[in-house]
């Protein structure tokens, strides 16, 4: 028994001395309570040079942590024990977080740079009045395709994907709302449709796509498309930009039936310790020059109207990433459909996955 106890004590002692050493190291590097800012963002979703610049301007030390899904991020914040000052969830996650009281209101008077944001991207249904969120990047869901592999064939619409000559050529992203939404759009329904008859129709249409579908994958889709493993992929526009950067034979198209318009937004979670610093950071990212630098690094579309002046012309005039107003009217933002409707979407998606060729 005594042996056991002394063993326990030893483990405790080692743990605490390690914790103490970590504290010493952190404070010697300038991480002190009150002058740190913890940012919780998607991986590789900010220009690291901007973090350096922000630290220099404000004297704050930034701790940058990343997540890879909205669900994982929400779970971590709702469980507590974390001190994230700024997080960057997607729009549907924001309405959920709002419902669960995970967000702090944003003080607009501390964000003078908010005026640079395009009016189109403010006051959207997921957060009326932008009480809790400020847009960070936006984009669409569309089709990446390899002209060379398709023998010069053009793709312009969702319905083109059902072409029998594309047998075993399509990679789909593993997202229920994206794929069911694609089928709904191809039938000219809204991608927020909750009519079960329409959804069943969409699922049946998806089943007919099965012979053309090579795989339904996650993040690997970028690597697979860049390696020409398949000729067509249904992806988010940001991923598309990244893939096209790696393989120039690929092109991106926003399907003419319309598609999803998505936003990633900066929010202040209820776990924030440095609310003042969080506002400073959001305002810093809204600065047109910083926003432009970030957009050029990340490759997504910036909602900052003034930032477009600082971006190279070929980026701003690229209609694949900054679609014309005419096409923009056909883009829809996901609404929070509620848990049971979302479960129904997922159930249909699961059934589609199980449908064999």
Residue numbers in the known binding site for spermidine are 92
Rounded to the nearest whole angstrom, what is the least distance from the CB of residue 229 to other proteins in the complex?
A: 5
87 within 8 A of 77, measured Cβ to Cβ? yes
Provide the token pair at 78.
Answer: 């709702």
352 within 8 A of 184, measured Cβ to Cβ? no
Rounded to the nearest whole angstrom, what is the least distance from the CB of residue 269 to other proteins in the complex?
A: 18
Binding site for other proteins (CB under 8 A): 1, 4, 69, 71-72, 168, 171, 174, 176, 214-218, 220, 223-224, 227-229, 339-340, 342-343, 346-347, 350-351, 353-354, 356
Residue closer to other proteins by CB (options 205, 214) is 214
Residue closer to other proteins by CB (options 1, 197) is 1
Provide the token pair at 348.
Answer: 């249909």
207 within 8 A of 352, measured Cβ to Cβ? yes
Rounded to the nearest whole angstrom, what is the least distance from the CB of residue 1 to other proteins in the complex?
A: 5
Residue closer to other proteins by CB (options 19, 343) is 343
Rounded to the nearest whole angstrom, what is the least distance from the CB of residue 354 to other proteins in the complex?
A: 5
Whole-number Cα distances in Å, 110 to 219, 270, 354? 36, 18, 51
Residue closer to other proteins by CB (options 56, 356) is 356
SS3 content of the chain, % helix, strand, coil (to 5): 50, 20, 30
Rounded to the nearest whole angstrom, what is the least distance from the CB of residue 66 to other proteins in the complex?
A: 17
DSSP letters for 269-317: ETT-S-HHHHHHHHHHHHSHHHHHHHHHHH-SBP-BTGGGGGS-HHHHT
Backbone angles phi, psi at 250, to 5 degrees: -95, 150
Facing residues of 215 across strands? 171
Rounded to the nearest whole angstrom, what is the least distance from the CB of residue 142 to other proteins in the complex?
A: 21
Residues contributing to the annotated binding site? 92
Provide the token pair at 273.
Answer: 């310790």
Facing residues of 142 across strands? 235
Whole-number Cα distances in Å, 318 to 106, 305, 312? 33, 15, 10
Residue closer to other proteins by CB (options 128, 218) is 218
Residue closer to other proteins by CB (options 4, 197) is 4
């Amino acid at each position: 028994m005594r042996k056991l106890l002394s063993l326990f004590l030893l483990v405790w002692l080692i743990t605490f001395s390690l914790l103490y050493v970590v504290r010493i190291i952190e404070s010697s590097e300038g991480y002190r309570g009150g002058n740190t800012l913890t940012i919780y963002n998607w991986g590789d979703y900010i220009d690291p040079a901007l973090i350096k610049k922000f630290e220099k301007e404000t004297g704050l030390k930034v701790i940058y942590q990343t997540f890879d899904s909205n669900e994982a991020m929400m779970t971590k914040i709702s469980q507590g024990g974390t001190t994230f000052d700024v997080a960057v969830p997607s729009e549907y996650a924001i309405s959920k977080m709002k419902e669960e009281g995970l967000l702090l209101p944003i003080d607009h008077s501390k964000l003078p740079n908010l005026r640079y944001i395009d009016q189109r991207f403010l006051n959207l249904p997921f957060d009326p009045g932008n009480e809790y969120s400020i847009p960070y990047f936006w984009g669409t869901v569309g089709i990446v395709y390899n002209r060379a592999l398709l023998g010069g064939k053009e793709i312009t619409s969702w319905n083109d994907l059902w072409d029998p000559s594309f047998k075993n050529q399509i990679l789909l992203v593993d997202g229920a709302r994206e794929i069911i939404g694609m089928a709904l759009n191809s039938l000219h329904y809204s991608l927020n449709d909750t009519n079960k008859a329409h959804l069943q129709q969409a699922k049946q249409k998806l089943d007919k796509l099965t012979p053309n579908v090579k795989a339904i994958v996650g993040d690997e889709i970028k690597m697979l498309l860049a390696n020409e493993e398949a000729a067509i992929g249904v992806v988010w526009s940001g991923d598309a930009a990244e893939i096209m950067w790696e393989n120039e034979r690929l092109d991106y198209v926003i399907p003419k039936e319309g598609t999803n318009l998505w936003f990633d937004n900066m929010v202040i979670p209820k776990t924030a310790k440095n609310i003042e610093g969080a506002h400073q950071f959001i305002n810093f990212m809204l600065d047109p020059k910083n926003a432009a630098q970030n957009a050029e690094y990340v490759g997504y579309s910036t909602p900052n109207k003034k930032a477009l002046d600082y971006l190279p012309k070929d980026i701003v005039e690229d209609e694949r990433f900054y679609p014309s107003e005419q096409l923009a009217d056909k883009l829809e933002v996901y609404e929070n459909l509620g848990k049971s409707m979302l479960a129904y979407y997922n159930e249909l998606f699961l059934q589609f996955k199980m449908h064999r060729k």
